[in-house]
Amino acid sequence: MNSSLVFFKQIKLVILFALTFSFCFATQAAENKIKLNYPPTAKLFYFIRADIKGLNIEGAGLIDWDKAGDKYHINSETRTALTGVLVAEKSEGLIDNTGLAPEIFSIKRFRKELITTRLDRKNHQINYQGNANPQSLLGTEQDRLSVLWQLLCLARSTPNKFSAGSKHKFTVIGTQDSEPWIFEVKNPQRIQTGLGEVDALQITRLPSENPDAQGMEIWLAPSLDWYPVQIRLSEKNGDYIEQSLEKIEKK
């Protein structure tokens, strides 16, 4: 057989194999891709209890969740009559094939200045306020507020992966750096809320190597669109803020 003909046949086989492999790989990737199930846009109103520096106080909380097209924003605020705003957080950004893709995260704590972190997705950088050296952005990072909703959306979309004992890891950016957060699913509980008793899935952030890491526990209610019906944030010094859902106002 002519050597040129053999050569071209070999090239043809290589190309055919490459195309077949690419098709199979693309098909597998499409099958493994999770289409997230986002909850309806809503305002969630909470009753809060807090212990700040040994002072027991009560107040109100609000989480405003909104998704429109390929964009989202989340505003969260806790306040008391004595202190005014305890913590106000804001996360906004895009919706992409990984879920929530934050672009701006800001936080204002009681008696502290507003701090803003920007995630520049075009240039793949995380810009911390006052930090001259940007950090590389990989693309799947969440911020301290969006991570709760990313977790919620994953639970809504793949409840079979949220059995007791399962763990879920995220890279979470804050005001100065990023770190891995690992959440563990606990056994379902029946808890009392302002909307009555509900069955809720408890998810707890596991301890971190960071000695100042904030503790987080959330309770998601499948019967209420998987909204967080209870949230508890705790500090190493014993301070905590606990929110219990009282009302849902869908938009």
Q: Are residues 105 and 88 in the same domain?
A: yes
Q: Are residues 165 and 193 in the same domain?
A: yes
Give the single-character DSSP code of 224.
G
Q: Are residues 119 and 167 in the same domain?
A: yes
Q: Are residues 165 and 198 in the same domain?
A: yes
Q: Are residues 25 and 101 in the same domain?
A: no
The candidate with the shortest Cα–Cα distance to 30, out of 42, 41, 22, is: 22
The candidate with the shortest Cα–Cα distance to 89, out of 65, 106, 71, is: 106
Find the distance separating the first CA and the last CA of the chain, reported in whole Å. Answer: 73
Q: Are residues 108 and 22 in the same domain?
A: no
Q: Are residues 112 and 219 in the same domain?
A: yes
Q: What confidence score (pLDDT) does residue 110 get?
A: 87
Q: Are residues 56 and 175 in the same domain?
A: yes
CATH number at residue 173: 2.50.20
* Count of CA atoms in the C-beta half-sphere (13 A) of 213: 16
Q: Are residues 26 and 109 in the same domain?
A: no
Residue 243: count of CB within 10 angstroms of its CB: 26
Give the single-character DSSP code of 97.
T
Per residue of the chain (251 residues), give pLDDT as tens: 444 444 444 444 433 333 333 333 333 333 335 689 999 999 999 999 998 888 899 999 999 999 999 999 999 999 998 889 989 999 999 999 999 999 999 999 988 999 999 999 999 999 999 876 889 999 899 999 999 999 999 999 999 999 999 999 999 999 988 999 999 999 999 999 999 999 999 999 998 877 778 899 999 999 999 999 999 999 888 899 999 999 999 98
Is residue 9 within a helix (H) or strand (E), and if so which, with residue range? helix 3-32
Q: Are residues 25 and 53 in the same domain?
A: no
Q: What confidence score (pLDDT) does residue 132 get?
A: 67
Distance CA 66, CA 151 (A): 16
* Secondary structure (DSSP) of 152-218: HHHHHH-GGG--TT-EEEEEEE-SS-EEEEEEEE---EEEEETTEEEEEEEEEEPP-SSTTPPEEEE
Q: What confidence score (pLDDT) does residue 33 get?
A: 55
Q: Are residues 203 and 123 in the same domain?
A: yes
Q: Which residue has the tokens 């040129």?
A: 4
Which residue range(s) make up the domain with 118? 42-250
3-class state of residue 16 by DSSP = helix
Structurally, the chain folds into a number of domains equal to 2
pTM over 0.85: no
Q: Are residues 29 and 112 in the same domain?
A: no
Give the single-character DSSP code of 113.
-
Which alpha helices (H) appear in 33-173, and where do they start and end? 146-157
